[in-house]
Amino acid sequence: MLRNAIARRRKAPSFTERHSGIWRCLFDMLMFIIRTFEITNRLGIHARVAAKLVETANHFKAEVSLEKDGVEVNGRSILSILALYCPQGSRLTICTEGVDAQEAMAAFALLIADKFGET
């Protein structure tokens, strides 16, 4: 009886219990969000706006890419963003991938909804 109680107490943790931290880490790494926005500010994406996009991307660990008309660029490169040529009315797709992808996408959505702080 005592032997059975000790054996139950020393029961090895399950695979999930032993590796729950690893699984959580893998899940976080697999976070992938894609969202398309319409650029509504009057001047579209110009140098100041591109700088704000890069500044926002640099606040997060997530990888950020922007895509317009089949051309995909790194969201941390001002020149690449400017090369997309996004005037008013353009549709810009933003992809965030990584541990804080949701927070990054929320920040981009807020920035674009606010028209990049311009009137």
Q: SS3 for 72? A: strand
Known catalytic membership, residue 46: yes
Catalytic residue among 35, 46, 76, 115: 46
CA distances from residue 75 to 13, 23, 25, 40, 106 in whole angstroms, order as listed = 43, 28, 24, 19, 15
> What does the alpha-carbon distance between residue 66 and residue 94 come to, in Å, rounded to a whole number?
5
Residues marked as catalytic: 46
